[in-house]
Structure 1
Amino acid sequence: MTDWSDPRMPSAETTSPRQIKRLSRNFAGVGVGIPPERLQEITVGGAAPTYDEMVDVTFALTATALISEKRRSKVGRAQRHCVRGFILLVTILIAINVLLCLGLMLFVLTQHTTPY
């Protein structure tokens, strides 16, 4: 079971007003417009949320978690791509170094031979 398949509203003890505002902005990004004040009321438990509000909150939590997971996987792919490129670059540099060393060795060996 992934994080986004079982969404849970953050508890009142673990959320600050700044986190609630960010959560409201994230919800607005997926099409659920709930003001931060109402989210604070829902997390504290002061006013009981309606069924429609709970459906919206559940959808928004699931959608934001899914978007976050996609973003993390995209960053992971980019990091793997950069590591592969770096390994390829190092391999090419090592191969060029070996070829230059072999060329220098052959050049030095041909200088010490006698012409007859």
Structure 2
Amino acid sequence: MTDWSDPRLPSAQTSSPRQLKRMSRSFAGVGVGIPPERLRQIAMGGSATDDELVDVSFALTATQLLSEKRRSKRGRAQRHAVRGFILVVAILIAINVLLCLGLMLFVLTQHTTPY
């Protein structure tokens, strides 16, 4: 798991307006409504109330947790798909072997004399 003790906003110099909009939307997805402009001000070190800092910290932690949940769910789905693919391939190989054995027995019976 990830270290949850100190979630931080990306610095204002490394964050583009598009990234801040995306972050604001993801924050809204966990119940924290902070506009992108306000996130930029907070990231630049502007004054922020304790409530805003708690909201940002919660939103960062919650979005990171949701991201890890999605990632683990995707991993389980991929493992499930690989197992299914292996099963289908094994069944096709088994059917192929049975058909080859049947054909071989048919060919061998054609070469024997009827008497």
TM range (shorter): over 0.9
The match for 2:18 is 18
* 1:115 positional shift: 1.8
The match for 1:87 is 86
Aligned-residue CA RMSD (Å): 1.2
Structure 1's consecutive aligned runs of 4 or more residues displaced over 3 angstroms after TM superposition are 3-6
Q: Any idea what the Cα deviations from partners look like across 1:32-84, whole Å, max 9, x if unmatched?
A: 11111110101112x22111111110000000000111011111111111111
Question: Does the alignment pair 1:75 with 2:99?
Answer: no
Secondary structure at 1:11 match in 2: coil
For residues 102 and 5 of structure 2, the distance between their equivalents in structure 1, rounded to whole angstroms, comes to: 61
For residues 75 and 24 of structure 2, the distance between their equivalents in structure 1, rounded to whole angstroms, comes to: 27
So what's the TM-score if we normalise by structure 1? 0.93
The match for 2:109 is 110
For residues 3 and 26 of structure 1, the distance between their equivalents in structure 2, rounded to whole angstroms, comes to: 20
Percent identical pairs in the alignment equals 81
Equivalent residue letter for 2:97 = V
Gaps of 5+ in 2: none
So what's the TM-score if we normalise by structure 2? 0.94
Count of matched residue pairs: 115
Equivalent residue letter for 1:34 = I
Q: Which has the higher contact order (CA 8 A, sep 6+)?
A: 1
Gaps of 5+ in 1: none
